[in-house]
Amino acid sequence: MKRLLLLACALLLGGCNYVNSVTGLSKDSDKAIGAACRQTGRSLEECYQRNPNADKAFIYAGWREMNEYMAKNKLETMEPLPEVAAQPASGTTPAVAGKHPASGSTSSAGQTGLPDLMSSEEADRAAKSDPQVAAVMRAIRSGHSAKSASSAPAEDQKRLLNIIKELNKSDPGRNPG
């Protein structure tokens, strides 16, 4: 009876790996792991150490494909997310312990290592102090008061697009949006 139970368990556990190999899910996920490692600038060795159960050949294939893609499109590596360390006994992470919620947002993104998200009110305040938004709004207001009602709306749109293009040329490092 014990032998039959052990044989059944061995067959069931062996089937788990068989399902992954038949469906190709492990192959694709291992390639995705390799691509993610390359995109974040991690070496193959570090990627292998971080994912010991993944197939090294597929990790390398994904890493190589992403390397070729990034070289072809002249993409830079991304900053990897910070390591998630064990929670200290106090219950707060060191990165969050020094923060004071001055804005009143309820986002828990700081605890997960992701960038903080703005609330709607914070986004409105940021838009009011944004020089590009102010320039576009000035152009809209001055365009409506200076032009007659018979002017075509296409002229206003062209003028706004030219202002936005000029602003983007003057500050190329700024990410729009």
47 pLDDT higher than 60: yes
Residues 6+ apart with CB under 8 A from 90: 97
CA dihedral sign of residues 160, 161, 167, 171 = positive
- Digit-coded pLDDT (tens) for 150-176: 555 678 788 888 888 888 777 666 555
Tokens for 55, please give them: 């197939």
The fraction of the chain above a pLDDT of 90, given in percent, is: 18
pLDDT tens, residue by residue, 136-147:
778 788 765 555
Q: What is the pTM of this model?
A: 0.39
Cβ-based burial of 33 (10 A; exposed 0-12, middle 13-18, buried ≥19)? buried
